[in-house]
């Protein structure tokens, strides 16, 4: 499995690297040494969970799914509603999803995405007001997936049938993107992200937060996690109370992380959202 290869590399790096250098990046060591579980959902779909009380000097709970796109590219989809808000699990069940995460930012009062989204060639919502935050775009068809810097024209002019604008962009061509200093980026919150590796593996990742069992991450911390997972292009998605990961049959609710809207560290606190990214 791909993550085991990354774990082996990080362990070898720790073993052969001088302590003076390692002292500068104790967080990568904490990530390698954290309690972890790995479960095969099906061939080419692997679920990982990591819990650490030392990562970034805080307590963290991270779930991510590796999807081998060589096997499952044609099963990747978006689901969205132009006005009605639904929980991630309701969206996922309607679409008979195997796994899913929440998608982009949305209008909590009136519903629908606040940024451009196209599903199977149909424009569901257009960008209401361009922002520096929504500077990344996910686009794909049944052969290709792309994550890159966004301009409004790029999203609207894309020839691909599935397009989701969100952000900020975290990693571009294997380089951490310099992020603006502001409370949204710098404070710790639950987070959702998506990333693409050069070997055509898609990473869907959620970080729990707003609880003593999981404090959440800043975006620079989230970028580091994605980088350690060998992601070469990555973008942030809607986080906070929206952060949700669905795996069919994995729990009583099918939710494997701990959505924060009910202020309890359980699987019950889902927030209704405007769209999801899922694997059929």
pLDDT digits (tens, 9 = 90+) for 48-63: 999 999 999 999 999 9
Residue 32 confidence (pLDDT): 86
Distance CA 254, CA 280 (A): 15
Decide if 255 contacts 49 (C-beta within 8 A): no
pLDDT digits (tens, 9 = 90+) for 104-159: 999 999 999 999 999 999 999 999 888 889 999 999 999 999 999 987 667 888 89
Decide if 232 contacts 196 (C-beta within 8 A): yes
Distance CA 1, CA 4 (A): 6
At 20, the pLDDT band (50, 70, 90 cuts) reads very low
Residue 1 confidence (pLDDT): 56
Cα torsion at 161, 114, 273, 61 (round to 10°)?
A: 90
> Which residue from 57, 59, 96, 60 is spatially nearest to 79, judged by alpha carbons?
96
Residue 71 confidence (pLDDT): 96
Mean pLDDT value across residues 195-221: 96
Mean pLDDT value across residues 252-256: 97
pTM: 0.91
The whole-angstrom distance between residue 141's C-alpha and the CA centroid of its chain comes to 19
């Amino acid at each position: 499995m791909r993550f085991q290869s990354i774990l082996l590399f990080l362990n070898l790096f720790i073993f052969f690297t001088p302590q003076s250098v390692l002292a500068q990046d104790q967080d990568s060591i904490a990530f390698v040494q954290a309690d972890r579980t790995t479960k095969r959902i099906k061939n080419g779909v692997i679920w990982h969970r990591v819990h650490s009380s030392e990562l970034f000097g805080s307590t963290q709970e991270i779930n991510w799914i590796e999807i081998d796109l060589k096997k499952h590219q044609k099963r990747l989809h978006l689901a969205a509603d132009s006005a009605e808000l639904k929980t991630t699990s309701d969206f996922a069940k309607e679409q008979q999803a195997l796994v899913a995460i929440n998608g982009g930012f949305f209008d909590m009062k009136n519903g629908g995405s606040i940024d451009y989204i196209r599903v199977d060639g149909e424009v569901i919502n257009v960008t209401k007001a361009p922002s520096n935050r929504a500077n990344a775009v996910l686009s794909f068809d049944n052969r290709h997936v792309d994550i890159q810097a966004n301009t409004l024209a790029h999203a609207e002019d894309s020839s691909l049938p599935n397009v989701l604008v969100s952000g900020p962009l975290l990693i571009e061509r294997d380089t951490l993107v310099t992020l603006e200093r502001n409370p949204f980026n710098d404070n710790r919150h639950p987070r959702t992200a998506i990333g693409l590796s050069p070997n055509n593996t898609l990473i869907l990742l959620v970080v729990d937060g707003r609880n003593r069992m999981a404090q959440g991450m800043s975006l620079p911390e989230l970028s580091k996690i994605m980088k350690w997972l060998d992601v070469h292009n990555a973008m942030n998605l809607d986080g906070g109370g929206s952060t949700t990961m669905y795996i069919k049959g994995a729990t009583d609710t099918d939710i494997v992380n701990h959505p924060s809207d009910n202020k309890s560290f359980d699987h019950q606190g889902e927030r209704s959202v405007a769209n999801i990214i899922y694997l059929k």
